[in-house]
Structure 1
C-alpha cells in the first residue's frame, strides 16, 4: 500500500462540549496519506507531553471512518452516520467503555483539493455515564518539495 504514499502535514483539532464547558485539543504532526480504490488512509504519530507516543491510523471509506490508535493508548473507534458504535479505550489509567453516535461526517480527499479535510460531529458516552458532544476536524496537506 505504500507505493502511492504521500508525505503530509496533519492538523487534528478536537472539541469536547459539556453543558457548561468546552475543551479544545490540537495536534500538529507529519504523517502519510495512502489511497487504494475507495479506501483512503492517513497515518501519523502523536507525541504527547506526557506518556508514550501514540500511533494513529484513520481509514476512510464511503459512509465509514475508523480511527485506530496504539502505543500510549489503544483503541479503535468507528464512525458511521446516524449509527451507534461501541469500543473499549485502553489507557494507562484503566479501560473505558465508549459508545459513539455519529451525527455528521464529511470528507474531502487530497485528490479533490489542495488539502484534505475530515470532519466528524458525534456524541460519545463514556462508561455508560457521561455523554459529551464532540467535533473532530482533521486537515491535511501534501508536504511541499523543497
Structure 2
C-alpha cells in the first residue's frame, strides 16, 4: 500500500492583527505513487478535534488536494491563484469554505519530501487571513 513515513505538519495562520498562530503536529502514515501522483495518508489524533478522521493529500503536477473523511469531512483543492469552494462538515454543523492558493510547492519521491502551501482561507464568507502550511515527510 505504500511506505511508512513520519509526517510533520506545521501550520501558521496570520489574521488581521498579523500575529501568527503556529501549530505543529506529528503523524505516522504512508506515501505511495499512482499514475504520476503522490498520495500521503494519515489518521488524525484526538487532540486535533478530528479523531476518527483520515487525511489524504493528493499531489499532482499543478494541484494539491487535501481530503478528510470520518468525523470531519472536507476537501480543499489548491491551485495557484485559483479559488476553490467546498464544505467543511463537522459533527457540530457544516460551513462553506473557500481557499485561494498564492503559492504551492511540492518536492516528493517515494521516500518522502516536502509540501508548502500559502493560501487565503474563508469560512462562511468570512476571510480568516493568510495561512502557511509546511509538511515534511520522511521515511521511518
Could you tell me the TM-score, scaled by structure 1's length? 0.88
CA contact (8 A) 1:119 1:137 kept: yes
> Structure 2 regions of 5+ residues with no counterpart?
none
Q: Which residue of 1 aligns with 2:119?
A: 122
Unpaired segments ≥5 residues, structure 1: none
SS at match of 2:119: strand
Match of 2:78 in 1: 79
Please say which structure displays the higher CA radius of gyration. Answer: 1
How far apart, in 2, do the equivalents of 1:130 and 1:82 lie? 16
Q: Cα gap change, 1:109/1:55 in structure 2, threshold over 3 Å: closer, same or farther?
A: same
- Residues 45-124 of structure 1 mapped to structure 2, 5 A cutoff: 45-49=43-47, 50=49, 52-111=51-110, 115-124=112-121
RMSD over aligned Cα atoms: 1.5
Q: 1:36 aligns with which of 26, 34, 37?
A: 34
Aligned equivalent of 1:25: 23
Specify the SS of the correspondent of 2:102: strand
* TM-score, normalised relative to structure 2: 0.91
Runs of 4+ in 1 over 3 A off after TM superposition: none
